[in-house]
Structure 1
Amino acid sequence: MFRPALRPARRPASRAGSWLWLVLLAAACGPRPPADEDASGSVAEADLTPAQELVARSVTFHDPDGIWGSRSLSMSWVGTDGEGGERVAVELEFGADERDFALSGRYRGSSIAYETTADGWAATVDGVAQADLPDADRERMRLHREDGMFWRSYYGFLAGLPMKISDPGSHLDPDIVETTFMDREVHAVRVTYDPDTGGDTWYFYFDPATAQLLGCRFYHDESANDGEYLTFEGLTGDGGLRLPRLRGWYVNADGRHLGTDEVGTIRVGP
């Protein structure tokens, strides 16, 4: 596990997050089964709704051995903006304990080293400890969000899809929706979130034959067609784990391209 030599940061007062961030706050780094479990810990398959069954099939496709949330892993993550300029280039490390997470690299033109453990979190930006940063820099680097846990929540959710779909606070509509996404016939699952985890509405899109996750879409107000959608292309992984390699970000209302994230090499630890 990456351990930068950081001074513990003072915890800022909690502030209200925006659309995606509050949803991501509920998503730590460990998996959650898509249905109730019996006393032995196994999923009661007969009780699965069609939507839960589809999500379970997708988890089996992407993570057949249950690596996510049970073993440490690391990956590189590079993000560009809509014009192709670098937005973020970082190395991520997820511990087998969901509280252990580390990030190091570049974000918004600055170097950043960040980690969370059971004891809290700490970060440096361009060599300056978080506690000594001006408020404007803490906000620019997202260190003021969710009592400092923003980056763990953000990457824990996005990197962990589809395993994170059924995390606490999520409610899957029981039925599958047959629709199209990016000119492909897909099966979709609609998921709503509790108010204290954002209250947004998400759709996740799967290949009907393999259950591979092909993309997702979220709304703050579905009737207003706000929010964004993500397209997933390709796969990358290690040890049986297969995660989406490319994530394209677009605006629901007009299809405007916001940027692209690429996951590089993934290394699964013991």
Structure 2
Amino acid sequence: MRTFLPLFLIVLTISCNNELNSSQLLKESIAYHDPENNWTTFRGEFHITMEIPEQSNRESDLRIDLPADAFYVKAVRDTITTEFDLKGSECRITYNGSENFSEEIATANRLSCERATMYKNYYTYLYGLPMKLKDPGTDISPEIQTKEFKGKTYDVIEVKYDPEVGSDIWYFYFDPETHAMEIYQFYKTDDNGEMI
């Protein structure tokens, strides 16, 4: 009995320390990705090459400046260059370098301030993960799932959103040791999910 009780307490302590809930896992992941809590003051630039089957690549340059509430994206595909530039409530759009383009061009290329805002929200969401999971309207399941992807086991949390935010269901995959967020998957209207 003397040996059993200390051994039981050690096992109980270890198992309790290893059991995180989704809020704790998210906190650990944010500490991993943003240890200095810099996301709210983020200013950065990115270049993205989007490869789409049976189409030419789209090359995009992005600037995100959270303190200035500014966002810029320039996308080039073939002979078409579009730019969306948001600064607060100001919106500027260009097509092949010109702010003067026809309604037909605007419709065909989805050139609108609503589209610019969608890009801003989309890219600040993706590049702000996992910190953006603390935003209002985010509903995080309290349970952590365990899933395997390409031979590696992950801790996974499910995230849904309030109806005014969005209807997608997201799954975020975290390394069980470092808590680094390595993969995310979202579902729109089908059960396939897109892995990113």
Under TM normalisation by the shorter chain, which class is it? 0.7 to 0.9
Alignment of 1:12-161 (within 5 A): 50-82=21-53, 85-87=56-58, 89-97=59-67, 99-107=69-77, 109-129=79-99, 132-144=100-112, 146=114, 148-161=116-129
Which structure's relative contact order is higher, taking Cα pairs within 8 Å and 6+ residues apart?
1
Whole-angstrom distance in 2 between the partners of 1:102 and 1:65: 25
Unaligned runs of 5+ in 1: 1-48, 231-270
Amino acid at match of 1:59: I
TM norm structure 1: 0.59
Question: In the alignment, which residue of structure 1 is the partner of 2:10?
Answer: none
Task: Give the CA deviation at 1:136.
Answer: 4.6
| Cα pair 1:107 1:141 within 8 Å, conserved | no
| Cα pair 1:113 1:124 within 8 Å, conserved | yes
Q: 1:27-47 CA distances to partner (integer Å, 9 max, x unpaired)?
A: xxxxxxxxxxxxxxxxxxxxx
- Partner of 1:164, secondary structure, is helix
Whole-angstrom distance in 1 between the partners of 2:158 and 2:107: 32
Of stretches 63-72 and 99-108 in structure 1, the one that deviates more from structure 2 is 99-108
| Cα pair 1:187 1:205 within 8 Å, conserved | yes
| Cα pair 1:143 1:150 within 8 Å, conserved | no
The number of aligned residues is 177
Amino acid at match of 1:146: E
TM norm structure 2: 0.79
With over 3 angstroms needed to count, the CA separation of the structure-2 counterparts of 1:143 and 1:57, relative to structure 1, is: farther
Q: Which structure has the larger Rg over C-alpha atoms?
A: 2
Whole-angstrom distance in 2 between the partners of 1:141 and 1:154: 18
Task: Give the CA deviation at 1:156.
Answer: 0.9
